[in-house]
Structure 1
Amino acid sequence: MMNFIESELLRIFVGEQAKLHHRPLYELLVSEALERGMAGATVFRGLLSFGLRHKVHTSKIFELAGELPMVIEILDITEKIEEFLPVVETLLRDAGAQALVTREAVRQWTT
């Protein structure tokens, strides 16, 4: 029988060049999530995107500057996501990174 836990998905979009202390920001976010015992985290690299400036970024070979989005998804119950948000805010601020942070309700299936 499958059961579900009401959870949240925290999604953070940052540029792949965003760094803090010479480490990619997406690595730091995942490390912090792991250290705090979050249920799970995954990072995706965008292949094609545009944002506020409407400049298209692509993974094609001719684009030398790595400006593709990195999408970090972190899953846990709402309370743990709430506790993790100040960590995200601090890392983004300290890195001086532009970011988009979203949250959505999800169901975490268990058996």
Structure 2
Amino acid sequence: MNASDMKLLRIYTDESAYVGDRRVFEYIASAARDARLGGVTVLEALLGFGHAAQIHRRHVLENDRAVVVEIVDTEAKLRAFAASLEQVTDIGLMTLEAVEVLGGKAWGARVSNQTEM
């Protein structure tokens, strides 16, 4: 695996979005682990809006904050994973971007595991 083959999948949703009895961002994170993707980070946005122009912001009594799920892996794996999420209706937007992996513990361990297989 080459660092230049890596991409970043960003998935936008809301904290209040559910798939069955699970929050969408939890469902995505669990599915990413099951798909053996490189890792997932869920970020809570302080403020945001999408195509509906509804402002999502942090309120003391509300749980409708914007959430961004980020996953870094190869393009092929990320495209397949994104396609597997088609049935999830409360995903606002998915983007795929080029990313340059510079290193780090997680990257080194992943490269070592790939060469051992």
- Place the TM-score, normalised by the shorter chain, in its bin: 0.7 to 0.9
Distance across 1 between alignment mates of 2:80 and 2:56: 33
- Contact residue 45 and residue 70 of structure 1 kept, 8 A: yes
Alignment of 1:83-102 (within 5 A): 83-90=80-87, 92=88, 96-102=89-95
- How far does residue 98 in structure 1 lie from its aligned partner after superposition? 4.5
- Contact residue 39 and residue 72 of structure 2 kept, 8 A: yes
Q: What residue number does 1:17 align with? A: 16
- Contact residue 43 and residue 67 of structure 2 kept, 8 A: yes
Distance across 2 between alignment mates of 1:55 and 1:82: 28
**Paired AA for residue 69 in structure 1:** A
Figure out how many residues of one structure are paired with residues of the other and give that number.
Answer: 103
Structure number with greater CO (CA < 8 Å, separation at least 6) is: 1
Q: What residue number does 1:32 align with? A: 31
Q: What residue number does 1:8 align with? A: 7
Q: 1:77 aligns with which of 74, 95, 102?
A: 74
The structure-2 alpha-carbon separation of the partners of 1:55 and 1:21, relative to structure 1 and needing over 3 Å to count, comes to closer
Distance across 2 between alignment mates of 1:85 and 1:55: 25
**Paired AA for residue 57 in structure 1:** H
- Contact residue 57 and residue 66 of structure 2 kept, 8 A: no
Q: What residue number does 2:111 align with? A: none
Q: How big is the alpha-carbon RMSD for the aligned residues of Structure 1 and Structure 2?
A: 1.8
The two structures have a TM-score, normalised by structure 2, of: 0.77
Distance across 1 between alignment mates of 2:41 and 2:91: 20
Gaps of 5+ in 1: none
The two structures have a TM-score, normalised by structure 1, of: 0.81
Distance across 1 between alignment mates of 2:71 and 2:40: 4
**Paired AA for residue 22 in structure 2:** R
Q: What residue number does 2:113 align with? A: none
- Contact residue 6 and residue 108 of structure 1 kept, 8 A: no
- Percent of aligned positions that are identical: 31
**Over 6 Å off, 4+ runs:** none
